[in-house]
Amino acid sequence: MLVDRFLRYVSFDTQSCEESATIPSTPGQTVLARALAEELKEMRMEEVALDDKCYLTATLPANTNRKIPAIGFIAHLDTSPDMPGKDVRPRIVDYKGGDIVLSEEDDIVLSPKMFPELTDYTGQKIIVTDGKTLLGADDKAGVAAIISAMEYLLSHPEIKHGRIRIAFTPDEEIGRGADHFDVDGFACEWAYTVDGGQLGELEYENFNAAAAKVSFRGLNVHPGTAKDKMLNASLLAMEFASRLPEAERPESTKGYDGFYHLTAMSGSVEEASLSYIIRDHSRELFENRKENMRALVNRMNEAHPGSTAMDMHDQYYNMKEIVAPAKHVIDLARDAMTDVGVTPLVKPIRGGTDGARLSFMGLPCPNIFAGGMNFHGRYEYLPVSSLEKSMKTIIRIVELIVDHQTNHS
């Protein structure tokens, strides 16, 4: 049922769109949310509510009189706009090792030569695409794991638990997933986003993040008479980009390394622009990076007065500031993984999740694995065993909370 559920969810086209001004950014997210709401009602989940901004919540009521903290599990409805997400054609492969041909006609091959971790799943069932779309395990695997865990708990009332809340949010992939999340209404002491990748991922550190758009104004003069008059805005943009450290780009960094990432550019002689995202796990280094950008703008204007302007804003911060002091939340997830036969893989997120912003909104919210690999591209795949372990981890977290409260009461 878990796998069937996931395969059904990926048939919905739910790509978010950064250029859209609507909430949610695309109508397909609402279509999926409505289908999930009906499914949750049929399961007899309570307080099933879908608001006008496409936030879907539901409740599994406590089945014990013990005083158990209310907790939540959260996943997002949208898929990345980086790769087509319409007409996804998943198939299950009994992986015996070597290459997996996704599309013979287009010569698209999922190979351990490019993705050596693929060999870790030899002998397992793997869900792949036809190489023409992403799969959507980010985060429909999380949605499937959460709903299947709730279904299991409903059918096993002998497992005692406190009040459990679940939520499915829109537009996480474009940084808007927490914009209208009602933390007070969710009413949990803490929660987990089920939005991680590899089996065992447990994450409570993420980047501090900012976005910047740098604009350049030139002076266009006929090239035949341009000497000492023309100022080429596109060349100013190239000069600006060249002054940022080459070793501090995403392709040259890993682990806790921060970076400046040029995400888009446009230009002519008259005007040009560069779009950047700025990332660092250290708040101090993050602030230094932003100051470096401001200083570079000033230097450009010293050389070419009035030529360069920048609009920069913070996007989210490192949830470690909030989650690390609530160590029991992390320990609980780590113990649950161990109990279901998963080795916890604690590492920093080189990105962000809804949980980062939710943590700063008053809901401590680390991230646990859903099992997918190679998110946001045609080579995305989902080992079935990893998805099953994600569901079991959720169930075990619920069980351990009751055990913990009983042992300390």
Q: Which residues are annotated as catalytic?
A: 78, 172
Answer whether 32's CB lies under 8 Å from 14's CB: yes
DSSP secondary structure letters along 194-236 = EEE-STTEEE--B-EEEEEEEEEE-B---GGG-TTT-B-HHHH
Helix (H) or strand (E) holding 10: none
Beta bridge partners, 193, equal 74, 367
Q: Which residues contact 137 (CB under 8 A, 6 or more apart)?
A: 6, 10, 127, 370, 371, 372, 373, 375, 380, 381, 382, 387
- Which of 386, 5, 406, 408 is CA-nearest to residue 196? 386
Give the Cα separation of 141 and 383 in Å (integer).
Answer: 10
Answer whether 78's CB lies under 8 Å from 184's CB: no
**Residue written as tokens 């409570």?**
204
